[in-house]
């Protein structure tokens, strides 16, 4: 069972990530800091404060945020792929990214600060999925195909609305602020924010894991699932709701981070097989490890920070190609 192994890997990745960054801090510094924090030894007050500042207030929140976002995007990606029985599906399928981007841009144009932009991104991300599902319901029962089309329509609508906002924005002041936000970053996340966003994200991932067996039934087809006694439509909505909630939280905190939700589930499937009860936690752990690594690279490779979306895409593409090579047999 590779799950405990992945858990250990996540712990190691998080600890390793604590040691990297632009401010030179050695492993010895970190050990000295931990010893001082546990009152085992003493450090000069100013030095302790600086180390606390960098390790606990700057690096730790980013690592926790990267782990949460990576886990949430991967778990919701895996859930979507199994509900829609389609390996090309990612968490943005039902329009959550378009809606969240629009919400953030709207807050920025209205001159509201960062926190309002996050709240607005979250609300509009949920609203966009609501619109997609609503459109799907207009055309009879929310089958998979109408849901996909509804998501496309909702996504296109909010993308167009975002373009209107960008057009109306002051090009010298507001537009750069919008572009900056949309690039996505974990840099401005603080500990308080991470701790307040962690419970809903963990609850969402937990709900998806709990729904794993129902997902397995859904993956066999609606009729088969019904014959097993699964309330198909209700189950599908519950899964979509949980996946949307956590991906909207992620986008509102970190902006657009692509590819993770698409390729990490494939990687996990390679490791633990297609059973969702094992696949979902494996995907969440792998996604967390991957994003901690990507963020570590983003914040330490160059003097300027590299937008994390670029790294996930650049690293994700070769990883995805490898997975496809290995997985081809099982699709044929």
What residues make contact with another protein under the rule CB under 8 A?
21-24, 49-50, 53-54, 57-59, 113-114, 167-173, 175-177, 179-180, 183, 185, 187-188, 190, 299, 303-307
Q: Considering the complex, what minimum distance in angstroms separates the CB of residue 49 from another protein?
A: 7
Q: Considering the complex, what minimum distance in angstroms separates the CB of residue 154 from another protein?
A: 27
Pick the closer one to another protein by CB: 24 or 140.
24
Pick the closer one to another protein by CB: 21 or 119.
21
Q: Considering the complex, what minimum distance in angstroms separates the CB of residue 241 from another protein?
A: 31
Pick the closer one to another protein by CB: 28 or 325.
28
Distance CA 92, CA 54 (A): 34
Contacts of 60 (CB under 8 A, 6+ apart): 18, 191
Q: Considering the complex, what minimum distance in angstroms separates the CB of residue 22 from another protein?
A: 4
Pick the closer one to another protein by CB: 4 or 24.
24
User: What 8-state DSSP symbol labels residue 76?
Assistant: H
Pick the closer one to another protein by CB: 150 or 184.
184
Joined together, the tokens standing for residue 24 give 């030179």
Distance CA 237, CA 83 (A): 10
Q: Considering the complex, what minimum distance in angstroms separates the CB of residue 116 from another protein?
A: 10
| CA pseudo-torsion sign 132, 134, 140, 141 | positive
Farthest CA pair distance, the chain: 69
Cβ-count burial 62-86 (b if 16+ within 10 Å, e if not): bbbbbbbbbbbbbbbbbbbbbbbee
Q: Considering the complex, what minimum distance in angstroms separates the CB of residue 188 from another protein?
A: 3
Pick the closer one to another protein by CB: 22 or 326.
22
For residue 288, what are the CA distances in angstroms to 78, 257, 316? 14, 13, 14
């Amino acid at each position: 069972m590779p799950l405990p192994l992945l858990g250990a890997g996540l712990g190691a990745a998080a600890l390793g990530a604590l040691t990297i960054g632009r401010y030179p801090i050695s492993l010895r510094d970190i050990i000295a800091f931990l010893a001082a924090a546990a009152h085992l030894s003493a450090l000069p007050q100013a030095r302790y404060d600086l180390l606390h500042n960098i390790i606990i207030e700057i690096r730790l929140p980013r690592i926790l945020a990267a782990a949460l976002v990576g886990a949430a995007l991967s778990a919701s990606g895996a859930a979507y792929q199994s509900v829609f029985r389609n390996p090309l599906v990612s968490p943005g399928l039902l329009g959550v990214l378009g809606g969240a981007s629009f919400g953030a841009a709207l807050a920025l144009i209205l001159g509201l600060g960062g926190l309002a932009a996050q709240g607005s991104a979250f609300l509009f991300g949920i609203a966009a999925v609501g619109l997609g599902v609503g459109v799907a319901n207009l055309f009879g029962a929310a089958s998979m195909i109408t849901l996909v089309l509804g998501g496309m329509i909702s996504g296109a609508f909010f993308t167009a609305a975002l373009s209107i906002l960008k057009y109306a924005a002051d090009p010298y002041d507001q537009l750069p602020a919008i572009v900056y936000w949309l690039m996505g970053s974990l840099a401005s996340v603080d500990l308080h924010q991470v701790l307040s966003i962690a419970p809903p994200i963990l609850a969402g991932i937990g709900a998806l894991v709990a729904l794993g067996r129902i997902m397995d039934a859904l993956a066999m087809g609606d009729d088969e699932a019904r014959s097993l006694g699964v309330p198909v439509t209700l189950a599908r909505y519950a899964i979509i709701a949980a996946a949307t909630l956590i991906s909207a939280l992620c986008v509102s905190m970190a902006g657009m981070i692509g590819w993770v939700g698409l390729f990490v589930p494939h990687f996990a499937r390679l490791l633990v097989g297609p059973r969702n009860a094992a696949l979902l936690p494996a995907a969440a752990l792998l996604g967390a490890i991957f994003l901690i690594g990507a963020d570590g690279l983003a914040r330490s490779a160059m003097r300027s920070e590299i937008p994390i979306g670029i790294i996930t895409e650049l690293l994700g593409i070769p990883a995805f190609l490898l997975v496809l090579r290995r997985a081809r047999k099982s699709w044929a």
